[in-house]
Structure 1
């Protein structure tokens, strides 16, 4: 792998580039299914006679399971390989999607949407797959292409599914449209399984020595790992509170959910301790250590970048409509432009990271995004609308590029733990979205943009503590021997 040319030919469909194309397509399909309900909500609402509260519940349930799912899927990928895990996930996706399309009650819709939150974890799998096939000098660009092209699955759903539902016609148009995406996922599971391998021929697929949690290499990292887990439970508690505030679960049920989350957190802490108990009696050799602070910093950066992206995409059309009094359709187009920039910004961020250094690129792009959102907070109806759209797209570019930078670093921390690390960092993207959308429900739009700018500025400061990844890392094989993995 180290002998590969520095040039990445994206038009090729052989070797590592074939793996890249097959894998971003798998990611694209998971996002297509994950967001297939959003553009069809009005039809679903009419079909079942749902209230506004029930529609809001479906939107919340769709993201609730994704946070823990990314952690679990990260562990599975490291243990069983991305080929197996992606294929199984796509099969499960197909069945869950079919379950949703055949729902006959709101309860069935709600359960299907909750379970489909698991599909959002597919992103994590490809991060490990790409890292196995590409050398470090191409890692950022390859991961950026994977993330950028896969993300447009949600946009593809928004564009194609309403038209498909309309063509089929009738009250069941939405069922055929969503069911078709499930069928695509099911078929692609088998195509993917028979088209890829976890590593190039002759390469070792490094697995963690223990499963059930992340192995850390110092006492300080152990404490930091426990602290990093707390916001995940906090975000799930916040989602439960939002469902309760809609009047859909009782206060008693809410407190039971809180108690269950606390109990699971305590059990997880015990599991993490049992996995890492040896570090308290015998220090890990310096050569074999990695720094968990890298994971924590990248998690913060991803929370403010991808989290902001998810939060802003959902409110931008309304912002343009209210500020500039444009038609609903045009406001939707302006909002879609924010997400569309991601197609180019993620690969750009990865390429910048490959070219100019991981740490410096991340810090500069985060600062650019913070300035961009400060500018957005000053937009009024007096602005020329073209200037407002340009400012929004510039902010989106810096935001997406910074997110691309994050996943240019993730695979360079510890190869055997890449899935789990990607799971933690990816989960923080959803945590950021949950927190920021909650903030948005309490404040005005300018204050919301200022809040995002402040959060990104803090992340830029944290990124200054990031350490540039080394040119090699040490992996411990199952037999206890140590092997050095060259990253260039």
Structure 2
């Protein structure tokens, strides 16, 4: 039976429209991801208060940083498979309910060990990104899916930046209203994002569907890849691993900066808690356009030069990001630090968007699994660089310098890997000509 236009993926993204199943899903999914990011990093700008009250040393803060992104690795792998089987609607709704619990309860922590455990479990919320990218991939056609994924991901990632700005103000509001003292304000403040996550679970379940044609349970689907095992199919493709490495060098660094920026500005430049949160928020606020810009430029490169254009663009963006981080690490004044931070943030977030403009083309029958593995690569990158920030022998500035060098090297690897495979005439899963204009 032929599908109608309303039941097909959209070939045009109109961000000002909420009409139709596709655009309704687009707006609900990025907004849900926004609040997931808000809850995931809501405690980050309040860490100076937590550090003082729980008497945490540098190594313990570093362990908390690592824990905050570790659970997300396994969660993204699992969620990717669930998307392929249950669909994004049910998967997202369940994740939101489960993730809201540790967000609301982290305020019960009274020791380093209990706080570390809650921070670890909260990390499962980061798997929301995989569902967001999967859902938009279902709703948009190949010619625009890179832009749609990038805009949805970028606007969602914005939640981390807004959390850095808003959570110190939320904590301060509870203090001014007399509900709690400053030292304990972080405890009550974290209830707010937890409640929002529960509300978004209801919204997602009631107002979205898995595909333009309906939910997975109501439509006939091609189960060929499912029988083979979508996860195994994704694992066998080397491009999955190259993209995972690239995502570790862009998104992995993004969530690391979301976690440490406030402490870095407080300790290194003597900024106040509110000012440090505001500056960290500037970094996250770049997502309002930069990730979408990366996806948009990647789609243009794809139409003009095929898949090779997308890959080469990703390599260049990572190289520029790495150089920007290296300059940021050597900034001698707060003004210069802000300028260089915004510079590398632009390339970093564009690289995020560019990476996930490639993901839907690796294997159309295993989009969820590929997305999950690549997304997990982002968190694995964050976990590994987290060890730099816990070391007593490495300053935060030196850690950023090492990160910049590593990211630039990753950009070179991405660029060269595509160059070498193209020379050997390896045929990609989606032919370059399919992305070029007729």
TM-score (norm 1): 0.72
Aligned partner of 1:308 among 250, 253, 258 = 253
Aligned: 1:118 with 2:63: no
For residues 119-173 of structure 1, the C-alpha deviation after alignment (integer angstroms, 9 at most, x for no partner) is: 1111111111111111111101110011101111122222222212222222453
Q: Following superposition of structure 1 onto structure 2, how do residues 245-260 of structure 1 map, counting pairs within 5 Å?
A: none
Q: What residue number does 1:340 align with?
A: 285
Aligned: 1:189 with 2:189: no
Residues 295 and 421, structure 1, Cα contact 8 Å, conserved in 2: yes
Q: What residue number does 1:80 align with?
A: 86
Q: Secondary structure at the match of 2:232?
A: coil
Aligned: 1:395 with 2:344: yes
Q: What residue number does 1:454 align with?
A: 409
What is the Cα-based RMSD across aligned positions, in Å? 3.3
CA 1:438–1:197: 2 relative to 1, 3 Å: same
- Larger RCO: Structure 1 or Structure 2 (Cα < 8 Å, ≥ 6 residues apart)? 2
Shift of 1:14: 1.7
Aligned: 1:51 with 2:56: yes
Residues 365 and 399, structure 1, Cα contact 8 Å, conserved in 2: no
Q: What residue number does 1:377 align with?
A: 326
Aligned: 1:299 with 2:244: yes
**How far apart, in 2, do the equivalents of 1:364 and 1:470 lie?**
18
Shift of 1:117: 1.6
Aligned partner of 2:366 among 404, 417, 440 = 417
CA 1:385–1:164: 2 relative to 1, 3 Å: closer
Q: Secondary structure at the match of 1:31?
A: helix
Residues 198 and 205, structure 1, Cα contact 8 Å, conserved in 2: no
TM-score (norm 2): 0.80
For residues 10-39 of structure 1, the C-alpha deviation after alignment (integer angstroms, 9 at most, x for no partner) is: 111122111111001111121111112212
Shift of 1:326: 7.0
Shift of 1:410: 1.2
**How far apart, in 2, do the equivalents of 1:163 and 1:330 lie?**
11
Aligned partner of 1:10 among 6, 15, 25 = 15
Residues 298 and 463, structure 1, Cα contact 8 Å, conserved in 2: no
Aligned partner of 1:133 among 130, 139, 151 = 139
- Which has the higher Rg, Structure 1 or Structure 2? 1
Residues 161 and 282, structure 2, Cα contact 8 Å, conserved in 1: no
**How far apart, in 2, do the equivalents of 1:418 and 1:369 lie?**
23
Aligned: 1:147 with 2:159: no
Unaligned runs of 5+ in 2: 433-437
Unaligned runs of 5+ in 1: 226-290, 473-487
**How far apart, in 1, do the equivalents of 2:152 and 2:89 lie?**
15
Q: Count the aligned residue pairs.
A: 399
Q: Please say which of residues 57-66 and 418-427 is displaced more in the overlay.
A: 57-66
User: Which structure is higher in helix share?
Assistant: 2
Shift of 1:334: 4.6
Q: What residue number does 2:430 align with?
A: 470
Residues 45 and 51, structure 1, Cα contact 8 Å, conserved in 2: yes
For residues 365-424 of structure 1, the C-alpha deviation after alignment (integer angstroms, 9 at most, x for no partner) is: 432441453355357979887666444423322221122111112122333321111110
Shift of 1:330: 5.6
**How far apart, in 2, do the equivalents of 1:167 and 1:178 lie?**
13
Q: Please say which of residues 392-401 and 308-317 is displaced more in the overlay.
A: 308-317
